[in-house]
Structure 1
Amino acid sequence: MIVLKEFKAFALKGNVMDLAIAVIIGAAFGKIVTSLVNDLLMPLIGLLLGGLNFSGLQYTLGDAVLKYGVFIQTVIDFVIIAFSIFMFIRLLSKFKRKEEIQPTVVPEPTKEEILLTEIRDLLKQQRGLDK
């Protein structure tokens, strides 16, 4: 029972919910980048390398088929996804720095504040004269 209560408290924390949302968005982003790599970049890389198709690269060893082309493609997917995330985080950091740099606007004092300041200053002067 105690474990279930602890798990419920853990699962309903804001950070866990944020993480869950990030994982879902990350999975969708991964699909987009995989399509970019498979459908656009890899055919171009294949053309540059003389018509080489990475997904077809394999080595047969007895009954086992080692599909190292698929592995190469997966590594390229990872590098592109990692670089894309790096650039996105870098962009967010730049926006955050701009928010921190902007000076805060100090509002003009109201008539009451001006009057109270004058009264304070007069009281300070009177105390100084009495001593």
Structure 2
Amino acid sequence: MIFKTHPWLFLLSILILTTSFKVDDSIAIATNTYSVERLPTMIESLQHGEYYTIQITSIGCFHGKRQTVTVLNKEGILTANFNNEIKILSPSDVNELILFEIQLREIPLGGCTTVDTYTLSNTYENFTISDGTCNWQGYKSLLAIF
């Protein structure tokens, strides 16, 4: 056991490991590189009469909140419902929802006390992921549509 004879080597290896994870997490968030060959997002897959929901649950030391956005395709017109407010989605709104889901599906692990949990659901899929990075905060861009 080399660590018993050289405890400084053990501490150095821990320092290197923890530093490299922090750097890798920030690089992964900053670059946002996505593969060209990706699966369609839920909004891209919506057929006439179909809908999907985005449920956001945010829990932290001093708060807890749950919000739901529903996106509907009715006769080719995409609408979103949030807090009883219905909005017809523009092409830029649709692009924002596409970017939101792509980023959401690539969130790295985090270590923040506030954890935002996202659940995307439609007839065919139920996808849940938690963001504990305190860096992304994708719900802000999502709710900015309204």
TM band (smaller chain): under 0.3
Higher strand share: 2
Task: Identify the structure with the greater helix proportion.
Answer: 1
Q: TM (normalized to structure 2)?
A: 0.23
Q: Which structure has the larger Rg over C-alpha atoms?
A: 1
TM-score by length of 1: 0.25
